Structure 1
Amino acid sequence: MKVLLDLQYLNVATTGIKTYMMELARAAMSYPHPDIVWIFSHDPETQSADQTFKDPKSKIQRLNYHLDYFRWKEFQLPDLIKKHQPDVLICPDFVSPAASLPCRRLTVIHDAFFWQMPQNYPKWWRTYFLRLIKKGLKENTEIITTTEYSRKSLYKHLKKIYPMTVIHQVPKKLANGVDTVFLEKHSLENHKYLLHIGTFDKRKHLPLLVRAFGDFLKKTNAEFKLVLAGGAGQSVQMNDKPVVDALVAELGLQDRVILPGYVSDAQVRTLYEGAFAYVFPSENEGFGIPIVEAMTFGVPVIHSDQPALLEVAGDAGLSFNTGNQQDLTEKMILLSSDFDLRSSLLQKGFARSKDFSSKKFIEAFHQVLLSN
């Protein structure tokens, strides 16, 4: 069986989808199957490093990217299929070609955000992208998604029922070594800070986290800091970074809330290894990679009771009512004062993280690929 993996989107992908694509390609290479031959549309490392369309500064640059993406999906990728004649095409970025294809399609739709949260996207872009997704769901199409929550959400919003399989993804492998200069620069001490890594999208509820952290400090007089690492939200509609900046100033937390911006893999590893706890207050997630990452490093996790996060964490996380600032503050206080609870969560989390391995990830794909 020949399988073509479409990696074009790596030239602009960030955060979760980038990790998904890179780790799928790496797992395919690391755990070969005797009955499957993998063909990559692009070298993953080279495509990921391509800067041509990253961080467009103008409408013209954004338009050029969309034209390039459309040209790839609708013309160049079908031509590649004619050349290699794969049995299966995997598109891990929501969109499969609208053209008729002579092979099975596995389209990865990571979540239902475009349907659930229309207010977070420019109207024209959301309409265009949803049209691309729907036009690619044709012929012999099967959908892969990341959690049971996402599967149920997609069935609710898609008008046609497609075969759909849940495959839990895996976090990226972070290089060994720590960046001690980074910790010194921000005056961070091991196990003296709470951590969140990710963009400042509105659905992440980071203003709620800042307010809860401020209340936590008032009620405990603890010497903790809060690190919010990551860049601005992906659009003006989605970006909560200005709100967080203003809130930090309003609450006088400039010395306690650290905003380092984007961080390197070495810095991510450094932050995980020194964190007292990871806090994930998001109102909506398709999976929640940071939960697994934190647990891998032996960091206890406080997370909202959003369904996908409950599914990923299992019984190894400390959940609070989504959107409830008081409950989040109470969970911070509980974790900081109960050593036995923290120790238990650490052990459970480390065990839970082993359920999300590259080997299990690719074996689940092998099972789907060989099922027909």
Structure 2
Amino acid sequence: MKVLLDLQYLNVATTGIKTYMMELANAALAHPHPDIEWVFSHDPETQSADQTFKGPQSKIQRLNYHMDYFRWKEFQLPDLIKNHKPDVLICPDFVSPVASLSCRRLTVIHDAFFWQMPENYPKWWRTYFLSLIRKGLKEDTEIITTTEYSRKSLYKYLKKIYPMTVIHQAPKKLTEGVDSSFLENNGLQNLHYFLHIGTFDKRKNLPLLVRSFADFLKKTDSNFKLVLAGGAGQSSQMNDKPVIDELVAELGLQEKVIVPGYVSDAQVRSLYENGFAYIFPSENEGFGIPIVEAMTFGLPVIHSDQPALMEVAGGAGLTVTTGDQQDLTEKMILLTSENSRVATMIKKGKEQSKKFSAQKFIEGFQNVILKN
């Protein structure tokens, strides 16, 4: 069985979807199946390192990227299929070619955000992208998604019922060495900071986290800090970074809230290994890979009661009501005052994280690929 994995989108992918694509490719190589031959459309590392369309861009550059993406999906990828003659095509970036193909399709749709939160996307772009998604869902398509929550959400919005399988993804391995100087340079002490890593998208509820942290400091007289690592939201509509900057200044938390921007893998590992707890107050997620990463490193996790996060945490985290500032503050205080609870959560978290291995990730795909 020959399988073609489309990795073209790695030239612009960031955060969650980049991790998904890289770990899928890595898992395919690390855990081969005797009945499956993998063909990659691009070398993962080379494509990921391509800077052609990354960074600040003009409207012309963005238009050039969309044209490049369209050419790939609708012309170059179908030609590649004709040359390699795969039995299965996997598109891990929502979109499969519109053209009729000679193979089965596995299209990964990570979440239903485009339908659930239209206000977070430029109207013309959302209309265009949803059109690409729908037109690529042909009769021979099976959808792969990340959680039961995402599966139920997609069934609500797709006009046609397609075969759909939930495959839990694996976290990034983060095998690089730690960057201890990063902690020192930011005035961070071991076990004395709360952590959040990810983009400043509005759905992450980071202003609420900052306000809850401010209340936590007032009520505990603590020397804890809060680290918000990651880049700006992925569009002007989605970006809460300016709101966070203004709020931190308004509350006088410039020395307490650390906003380092994008961080390297070594810096991420340093943050996980030395943090006190990870906080994930998001109002909507398709999966929530930082929960698995944090639990793997032995960080207790406080997360909202959003369904995907509840599913991934599996009862090993401390749950707060989504959007409830007071509840979040109280859970932060609770965690810092009960050492036995922290120890129990660390133990449960490490056990829960084992459910999301690279081998289980690729076995999910192997089972779908070989079932017919």
Q: TM-score range by the shorter chain?
A: over 0.9
Residue equivalent to 1:37:
37
Residue equivalent to 1:67:
67
Residue equivalent to 1:152:
152
Residue equivalent to 2:247:
247
Residue equivalent to 2:87:
87
Q: For each residue in 1:301-323, what CA deviation from the matched residue of structure 2 results, as whole angstroms up to 9, or x when unmatched?
A: 00000000000001100010000
Distance 1:312 1:172 in 2: 15
Partner amino acid for 1:48?
S
1:4–1:89 CA contact under 8 A, matched in 2: yes
Residue 132 of structure 1 aligns to a residue whose secondary structure is helix
Distance 2:368 2:89 in 1: 12
Distance 1:352 1:45 in 2: 29
Residue 21 of structure 2 aligns to a residue whose secondary structure is helix
Per-residue deviation at 1:81? Answer: 0.2
Residue equivalent to 2:5:
5
Residue equivalent to 1:222:
222
Q: Which aligned runs of 4 or more in structure 1 are off by greater than 6 angstroms?
A: none
Matched, 1:120 2:156: no
Aligned-residue identity in percent = 80
Per-residue deviation at 1:57? Answer: 1.9
Q: For each residue in 1:121-145, what CA deviation from the matched residue of structure 2 results, as whole angstroms up to 9, or x when unmatched?
A: 0000000000000000012000000
Residue 272 of structure 1 aligns to a residue whose secondary structure is helix
Distance 2:55 2:158 in 1: 31
Per-residue deviation at 1:194? Answer: 0.2
Partner amino acid for 1:310?
M
Partner amino acid for 1:226?
L
Per-residue deviation at 1:99? Answer: 0.3
Matched, 1:313 2:313: yes
Distance 1:70 1:351 in 2: 43
Matched, 1:365 2:371: no
Residue equivalent to 1:46:
46
Over the aligned positions, Cα root-mean-square deviation in angstroms equals 0.5
1:108–1:145 CA contact under 8 A, matched in 2: yes
2:176–2:265 CA contact under 8 A, matched in 1: no
Residue equivalent to 1:167:
167
Distance 1:64 1:172 in 2: 30
Distance 1:9 1:158 in 2: 23
**Structure 1 gaps, min length 5:** none
Residue equivalent to 1:178:
178
Residue equivalent to 1:191:
191
Residue 342 of structure 1 aligns to a residue whose secondary structure is helix
Residue equivalent to 2:110:
110
Q: How high is the TM-score relative to the length of structure 1?
A: 1.00
Distance 2:278 2:261 in 1: 17
1:100–1:139 CA contact under 8 A, matched in 2: no
Residue equivalent to 2:266:
266
Distance 2:46 2:235 in 1: 26
Per-residue deviation at 1:180? Answer: 1.2
Per-residue deviation at 1:176? Answer: 3.4
Residue equivalent to 1:201:
201
The count of corresponding residues between Structure 1 and Structure 2 is: 372
Q: For each residue in 1:174-200, what CA deviation from the matched residue of structure 2 results, as whole angstroms up to 9, or x when unmatched?
A: 123211111111010000000000000
Distance 2:52 2:175 in 1: 26
Distance 1:181 1:44 in 2: 30
Residue 302 of structure 2 aligns to a residue whose secondary structure is strand
Per-residue deviation at 1:226? Answer: 0.1
Residue 371 of structure 2 aligns to a residue whose secondary structure is coil
Distance 1:15 1:176 in 2: 17
Distance 1:341 1:184 in 2: 28
1:56–1:62 CA contact under 8 A, matched in 2: no
Distance 1:73 1:56 in 2: 24
